[in-house]
């Protein structure tokens, strides 16, 4: 049974200021998408990666990922939707149609291009162990305040019970399909699964799985995570 990773990569990434699809923004000369897909395949437990690209960038994303396919994994690129949830749904429908033995589905942000393989493996292993939905998390280091519409503080949640959520998030294929059948838009697939009443389990994430969304994040990645290499 195949483990398939879906990579919604149709975002424009205006905050990075590159004027191109966010997934094609280079980090030391290598696009975020290439690093993310390579990391998934190199983890050794993912057989297929399905990329949902901006319709205008399907050919470009096919080109940059063409060399990543190997005997142990395949890369598929298709046109994504207007919103992230639309892209995940389209990629999921493609996977279930074209890769009929799909059993475990991961959803991964291309912007988390430096996620260690150990995190990918932990998520897959937890789903295989019987958990229908699994997310990698980190403890919350900062104090968090809940505010009202005017910006006034109304509560201080106990950060000991809070977690920062990363990707890849892992699901059994049937659970993720049910979650996306609702048509609700969301930035977090586990949130859709929670609406079904399905339990979501956590595993340990990693600081290197940071999401690259701003020029500062990009500078940090180039300085600390690439080691000056491609």
pLDDT tens digit sequence for 73-102? 899 999 999 999 999 999 999 999 999 899
Please report, for the domain that includes residue 40, its CATH number.
3.90.550.10
Largest CA-CA distance found in the chain, in angstroms, rounded: 56
How far is it, in rounded angstroms, from Cα 127 to Cα 105?
Answer: 9
Determine the length of the chain: 230
User: What does 10-59 look like in DSSP terms, one character per residue?
Assistant: ----GGGT-SS-GGG-EETTEEHHHHHHHHHHHTTS--EEEEEE-GGGHH
What's the number of domains the chain is made of?
Answer: 1
Domain holding 96, by residue range, is 2-227
pLDDT tens digit sequence for 40-72? 999 999 999 999 999 999 999 999 999 998 756
> In the prediction, which pLDDT does 77 show?
97
Measured in whole angstroms, the distance separating CA 185 from the mean position of its chain's CA atoms is 16
**pTM to 2 decimal places:** 0.94
Q: Which residues of the chain are modeled with pLDDT < 70? A: 71-72, 227-230
């Amino acid at each position: 049974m195949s483990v398939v990773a879906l990579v919604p990569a149709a975002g424009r990434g205006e905050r990075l200021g590159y004027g191109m699809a966010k997934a094609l923004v280079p980090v030391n000369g290598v696009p975020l998408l290439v690093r993310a897909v390579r990391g998934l395949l190199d983890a050794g437990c993912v057989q297929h990666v399905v990329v949902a690209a901006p319709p205008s960038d399907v050919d470009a994303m096919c080109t940059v990922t063409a060399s990543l396919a190997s005997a142990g994994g395949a890369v598929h690129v298709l046109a994504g939707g207007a919103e992230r949830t639309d892209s995940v749904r389209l990629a999921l429908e493609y996977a279930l149609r074209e890769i009929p033995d799909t059993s475990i589905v991961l959803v991964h942000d291309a912007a988390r291009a430096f996620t260690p393989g150990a995190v990918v493996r932990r998520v897959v292993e937890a789903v295989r162990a019987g958990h229908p939905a699994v997310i990698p998390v980190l403890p919350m280091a900062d104090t968090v305040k809940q505010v009202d519409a005017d910006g006034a503080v109304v509560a201080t949640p106990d950060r000991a019970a809070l977690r920062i959520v990363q990707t890849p998030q892992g699901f059994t294929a049937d659970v993720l399909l049910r979650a996306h059948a609702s048509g609700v838009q969301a930035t977090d697939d586990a949130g859709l699964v929670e609406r079904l009443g399905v339990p979501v389990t956590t595993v340990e994430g990693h600081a290197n799985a940071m999401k690259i969304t701003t020029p500062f994040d990009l500078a940090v990645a180039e300085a600390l995570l690439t080691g000056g290499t491609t």
